[in-house]
Each structure stands twice: as C-alpha cells, then as structure tokens.
Structure 1
Amino acid sequence: MRYAGSVALVTGGASGIGAATVRRLLREGARVAALDLAAVKESTDDVLPLHCDVRDETAVEDAVGAAVAWGGRLDLVANVAGVASYQHTTEVALAEWDRIIGINLTGTFLVSRAALPFLVATRGAIVNVASLAGVRGWRYSAAYSAAKGGVVALTRSLAVEMAPDGVRVSCVCPGSVDTPLRAGLRAVPNPHPRLDGIGGALIDPPVADPAEVAAAIAYLGSAEARFATGAVLRLDGGAGV
C-alpha cells in the first residue's frame, strides 16, 4: 500500500502498459485518474476515466484540473500514452511524423507542464514511458526513436529543474512488451538482411508483460525511490546491452 491516500494520473490508461499501471496503483492504494481517447475498462469509485487527446493543450489542462478537483491532490503522473510505426524513413509522411511526435513527446510535455504546480504542492513525482528505441539506434523507426529520445531528454531536464521543488522525474525504457501497440505494428517491407536480429533480448521469453513495466513505474513514483530522479531505467531484457 505504498500509495495509500495518494492520487495518480495515468495517460494511455485504457490498454497496455497504461491499463496495467492503473491496476497496479489501485492495488497499492491510490485513486487514479485514467486519461485516454479509448474507454477505460477499470470501473470503480477509485478510478476517474477522462477522455483526452494528450496533443490538445486545452483538453490536457481541463483533464488535469478535473483529476485534481476529483482527488483533491496529485501525487504521481505516469505518462504512458504512445503510438509507434515501422517505416522506411523515405516513406514517412509528415502527418505520421507529427502524429508520433505529438502523442509521444508533445503529450508528455503538455501533461507534465499542466501537472507540475500540483506536484510541487505534494512533492510528487513524474514517471515517463520512453523506449529502448529512445536510447539506442533502432531500425525503421525514425519518428518513434526521435520522440522517445526526446522523452528521455525531457525527463532529465525536468529532473534538474524541479529538484529544488522536491518533484522527482524519471522514466522507464521498455523493449518489446505484449501490448496492443506491439500487436498492431506491421512489418517493414523489404528490410535489409543485415538488420535482421539486431538488438534481440537476452531473456526468455523475450517479450515483457505490461505488469512488469507497471511495477517499475510504481516503484519509481513511490517514496521508496526517494533518491531516484533523472533515472532512465531500461526494461529491455538485455536487448540494449
């Protein structure tokens, strides 16, 4: 019950890592505002489902305000919402670039910015979900890698800026996770044979369960991780070694 009496906000809370994080935080005693464009499946008095496009500045500010009004405080923000695609860079349309950057990076910025005044009041924490693709080169994912690399840099910058106010900011960098996002990725046509098998996990099975990532998020956002800020935690099964 590390989160007893606490209020958390989780983006992307309808599925995958976000839904697993909602469940984990509930189990540890938090009340959770879950933001998503899809319907949030968890239905209890301790969950506030909020329909929100994290790219929309006004919608984000309204959602964060609604979460604080509902919970009376804000102790943790978990920025999980994200999208990805595999494409040859020469075939990436600007609209697709904007979509991936907007949801993964701009959304993380907008939610964090809106939440910071409330987190200062509670000396709370932000945990962002980046990716292995944000800390090492990854084939056919220029937009996604740029977005997640930006999330890592944003995490570190905010960690420095907010340290005097007692707000900790860290991120997790998963590798392959069994989520709808992963299931929806299409293989790149005509991949170069030299790029096959690069960056494979060392752990068997090589795909993580969303609950494993949620456990790391719950730790980094808790008081037990008091000395962790600016942390970039890889959860990649050794693929980035």
Structure 2
Amino acid sequence: MRTTRRPSWLRPGRHVLVTGGSSGLGLELCRRFVARGVSVTIVARDRDRLSACADELTRLACDGASVATVSVDVAVPDSVERAVTGIARIRPLDGVVTSAGIMREGRVGDLSLADYSDVLDINVLGTIAVIRAALPHLPRPGGLVVPIASVAGLTGVYGYTAYCAAKHAIVGFADALRYEVEPDGIGVQLVCPGEFDSPFVDALDKTRTPENRAHTLTIPKLPAGRIADSVIASMDRGGSRRVVPGTMTQLIVLGQHLAPAAGRFVGRRKIAAVQNAMPAPP
C-alpha cells in the first residue's frame, strides 16, 4: 500500500520569530532554520550581538531565507506588542520560538526579591507577552508555538527556586494553551531540555553552589547543538507535543514521574554528599 509522506513543517518559505536568538540554543536553532530555507526574525536586547549573528546567519541562509533582527526587551509588554505587530506586517508569521531567558542560582535566603522578579519577568511574562502578541498573526491551521522551558520545569533543583518557579510556570502555560489553540490548528511544542552548553551556563559555572552543581549534573550536560537537533526534528512533525531532548534525560524524567520518591532520594543523596565533604565552619 502506498503512503503519502506528510511534508515537513520546516520548509522554505516559512517565517519564524525567535526570541533570545542571538546566542545559545536560540542561535543554534536559527542556524538550522536558515540552512533549511526558513526565514527568521530574531528578537533580543543586545544590538551588537544581534548584528553579529545576523551577519553569520545571512551567510548560512539557503533557498531565499531572510534574516531580520529587532532589539526589544521581552519584559516590556507594550514594546513586545508593537514589535511583533510590526514584524508580522512586514512578513506573515508561521511560528514563534521563545528562547529568551535568564537564570539566577542561589539558596533562597541569598536571592533577593529583585532576583526573583527579574527571572519571572523575563522567563515567564516575557514568554507569555511574545506568544500572546504572535498568536493573532499565526496561520489557522498550520501555526506553531514553541516555548523553551526546562527539565527544571518538571522537577525541583537545589538552588533553583527562582528558575524552577519560572520554568514550572511556562510548562503550565503551554499545557493550558494547547486546549485553547489546538482546535484552531495551532500546535504547541513545549521543549524541556536538561542543562546544555550556553553562555549563561558558562557564567553560572563560576558562581553556582556546589549542591546545585552536583544535583543538576544528575542529568549529563548536552551540547546546545544536540538540543537544537531534537527541537528541529519535533518541529518538522508539526502538531503538539512535549519534547525532552536526550535519551538519558528522557529516562530520568520518566523515572521522576513514575517514582518521585526515588528521584527525591537520589537528589538528597547527591546534595548530602557535597555538604558532608565541606569543611566545618570555624
């Protein structure tokens, strides 16, 4: 029996808005988009970094893909609304990837309320503002929303009270959003990676607590390119799903879901081992 293969969602002529696309996972995704003939508009704050990545992506672009950049702080909703409306007016949108985010690590008493506010404003409200602004401009059917969350949105991690709160919120937002937009033919592909190589993880490595390092690395760190490949493969299929890149990461997340007490036991053991090795205070 002959079957008709469904065309890839990512194909020449598509246009995807990517927040945080000037570095890390967002940039890795943009590299793959333009190489597939998919046009990108990158939204980020740093104008110099935007200019540099636009030059690189333009050199990589194939099949008529275009590269545009807009300097916007996603934590400012009015600016987001104006920017997304302007982007869609210039070229119709097919999808949106929200990769912009920041991280603050530390014990709850050491983080300030300003730290919590920054993490929630950018990671949560910034994600929601961009997706709300983009939804009216996405095709029905055929639009695609790809929020980048984290495994930290599926479990707890020592030192990540702010970050876990933010990523849990994104997971809940995406899961609820599906019920609203799926009937219109818009897919929501929530991405929950473990820790991966990126500029802000490199910066975090200089200051993170030993307990956080041990607990986080229960899941092996992956290259950002491998995470991007998993996201691309999922987007190719279109529709709605939850994406957890990496076989080991998937197994650990499944284990946490099926046996949460065992997951907490392993986490406590790793944290206790670090604390027991620390010198006693004078």
Structure 1 length-normalised TM: 0.88
Question: Is structure 2 residue 40 aligned with structure 1 residue 27?
Answer: no
Query: How has the CA–CA distance of structure 1 residues 53 and 67 changed in structure 2, closer, same or farther, with 3 Å as cutoff?
Result: same
Greater radius of gyration (CA):
2
- The offset of 1:216, in angstroms, is 2.5
Question: Is structure 2 residue 245 aligned with structure 1 residue 235?
Answer: yes
The partner residue of 1:219 within 233, 238, 248 is 233
Matched to 1:117, the amino acid is P
Per the alignment, residue 54 of structure 2 pairs with 42
Contact 2:19 2:44 in 1 (8 A): yes
Contact 1:127 1:220 in 2 (8 A): no
SS, match of residue 184 in structure 1: helix
Per the alignment, residue 134 of structure 2 pairs with 115
Per the alignment, residue 258 of structure 2 pairs with none
Contact 1:172 1:216 in 2 (8 A): no
Q: Distance in 2 between matches of 1:221 and 1:127?
A: 8
- The offset of 1:137, in angstroms, is 1.1
SS, match of residue 151 in structure 1: helix
Deviations 1:185-236 (A, max 9, x none): 14345x56xx77335356xxx32222222223323333x233xx1x222225
Contact 1:75 1:122 in 2 (8 A): no
Per the alignment, residue 104 of structure 2 pairs with 85
Q: Distance in 2 between matches of 1:42 and 1:207?
A: 28
- The offset of 1:61, in angstroms, is 1.1
- The offset of 1:62, in angstroms, is 1.8
Q: Distance in 2 between matches of 1:70 and 1:211?
A: 30
Question: Is structure 2 residue 56 aligned with structure 1 residue 56?
Answer: no
Per the alignment, residue 198 of structure 1 pairs with 215
Structure 1 unmatched runs, 5+:
none
Matched to 1:46, the amino acid is S
Contact 1:8 1:76 in 2 (8 A): yes
Identity %: 30
Contact 2:102 2:119 in 1 (8 A): yes
SS, match of residue 138 in structure 2: helix
Query: How has the CA–CA distance of structure 1 residues 94 and 198 changed in structure 2, closer, same or farther, with 3 Å as cutoff?
Result: closer
Deviations 1:149-192 (A, max 9, x none): 11111111111110111111121111121100100114345x56
Contact 2:120 2:166 in 1 (8 A): yes
Deviations 1:50-83 (A, max 9, x none): 1011111111112212221232x11110000011
Higher RCO (C-alpha under 8 Å, 6+ residues apart): 1
Query: How has the CA–CA distance of structure 1 residues 159 and 98 changed in structure 2, closer, same or farther, with 3 Å as cutoff?
Result: same
Per the alignment, residue 142 of structure 1 pairs with 161
Contact 1:35 1:50 in 2 (8 A): yes
Question: Is structure 2 residue 85 aligned with structure 1 residue 65?
Answer: yes
Count, aligned residues: 230
Higher helix share: 2
